[in-house]
Amino acid sequence: MRARKGNAVKTVFVINGPNLNLLGKREPSIYGGKDLEAISKDCLQAGEDLGLMVDFRQSNHEGVLVDWLHEAGEQAAGVVINPAGYGHTSIALHDAIKAIAPLPVIEVHLSNIHAREPFRHHTMTSPAVVGMICGLGPTGYILALRALADRI
């Protein structure tokens, strides 16, 4: 079933945090060879298949990510977020996700953060989201979009 209310296609934000603009070149043994533009295209296609309009974004700046979560709270039906390094440190992102409740937010990490350095095992954001996917590479974004489509 398509995630539509009446004829209106719902918009979901896919928000990417710091350093993800370097995907493809950045530590490919950990993050893979796909760049963010290719992941964006896959997400837009998945959105089309699911009946969702995907608004895909990336910023290296914590405050911009907070602003986009607030914007999602006004305009979107759900959010997929890879908070990248800020996931491990940012109470502000945790608070922003809580502030836009009950909007469903799903956290994604390309790598398996639990199999990496201890400082990556915890994220500030995970207690605030409906669910988290990690370790499945770019497929995680698509699975998160499917999960959002089921909820909204």
**Residues in contact with ligand DQA by the rule CB under 6 A:** 19, 82, 84-85, 109-111, 113, 120
Give the integer Cα–Cα distance in Å for 27 and 75: 34
Active site residue 141: no
Q: Where are the beta strands (DSSP E) in 34-140?
A: 52-58, 78-82, 105-109, 131-134
- Shortest distance (Å) from residue 28 CB to ligand DQA: 12
CB–CB of 96/86 below 8 Å?
A: no
- Shortest distance (Å) from residue 74 CB to ligand DQA: 26
User: Which residue type occupies 59?
Assistant: S
Nearer to ligand DQA, 59 or 82 (CB): 82
Nearer to ligand DQA, 3 or 110 (CB): 110
Maximal CA-CA distance, the chain: 47
Nearer to ligand DQA, 66 or 123 (CB): 123
- Shortest distance (Å) from residue 1 CB to ligand DQA: 30
In the numeric block, which tokens belong to residue 36?
């963010």
Active site residue 61: no
CB–CB of 77/36 below 8 Å?
A: no
Which one of 86, 109, 122, 141 is the catalytic residue?
A: 109
CB–CB of 12/78 below 8 Å?
A: yes
Nearer to ligand DQA, 64 or 84 (CB): 84
Bridge-based pairing of strands 4-5 and 78-82 is unpaired
- Shortest distance (Å) from residue 46 CB to ligand DQA: 17
Catalytic residues: 31, 109
